Amino acid sequence: MFKMVSPTVFGIVLLCFFLPWLEVSCQDHKILSASGIQLAVGTNTNNKATSVFESTQKKNIEIKSNILVAIALIAAIAALILSFLKGKKGIIGPAIAGGIGVISLLLFSYKVNNIAYEIANQVANETANETIINGTALGLSMASIIQLHYKIGFYLALIVFLLGIGVNIYLLVKEKKRSQL
């Protein structure tokens, strides 16, 4: 009976890919929101784009597929399928696939944070020497306008992947103890 927990957990991971994962905002106005599926396969989306200089309007924004999110999606699908196998293959396989999913999500987060940091620094460095208003460099304030938020789908996928790994490690230990008896 406990063996059915593994497919359930990895099924939940797959559902997390349909939830919002990432949101980009400018001055607390949402510019872009993307689900895990959108990040994995890419899409075009019409989102409200708000800038400091323009009124709110609809803009077509292309989301390119991200290989790390695609790997996490494939790992979740593989873990779900492998969890139906009998014996140790049905325990070790999903744990390894879950580990690959966790690693790719952590690398995705690192990469996105790094890109956002580099863009903020570039904006700050390019405009800091040019424009100073009331003793404050405009570049630093411009860099802080764009914000990146990870949403519930990303965090749940990461946590449930870890839960799936834990469940399969527990099943492996339980299987090992049973075979020693």
Spatial distance between the Cα atoms of 118 and 116, rounded to a whole number of angstroms? 6
Q: Higher-confidence residue: 31 or 49?
A: 31
Give tens-digit pLDDT for 16-34: 999 999 988 877 778 788 8
121 in a structural domain: no
Instruction: Supply the pLDDT for residue 1.
Output: 57
141 in a structural domain: no
Spatial distance between the Cα atoms of 157 and 111, rounded to a whole number of angstroms? 17
**Is the pTM for the entire model greater than 0.95?**
no
44 in a structural domain: yes
Report strand pairing: 20-26 vs 29-35: antiparallel
80 in a structural domain: yes
Give tens-digit pLDDT for 98-149: 999 999 999 999 998 887 777 666 655 655 555 544 444 444 455 556 778 8
124 in a structural domain: no
Q: How many domains does the chain have?
A: 1
Residue 63 pLDDT class (50, 70, 90 cuts):
confident
> Is the separation of the CB atoms in 128 and 140 below 8 Å?
yes
75 in a structural domain: yes
77 in a structural domain: yes
Spatial distance between the Cα atoms of 131 and 122, rounded to a whole number of angstroms? 14
Q: Which domain does 107 fall in, by range?
A: 2-112+146-180
Greatest mean pLDDT among 40-44, 135-139, 163-167: 163-167
118 in a structural domain: no
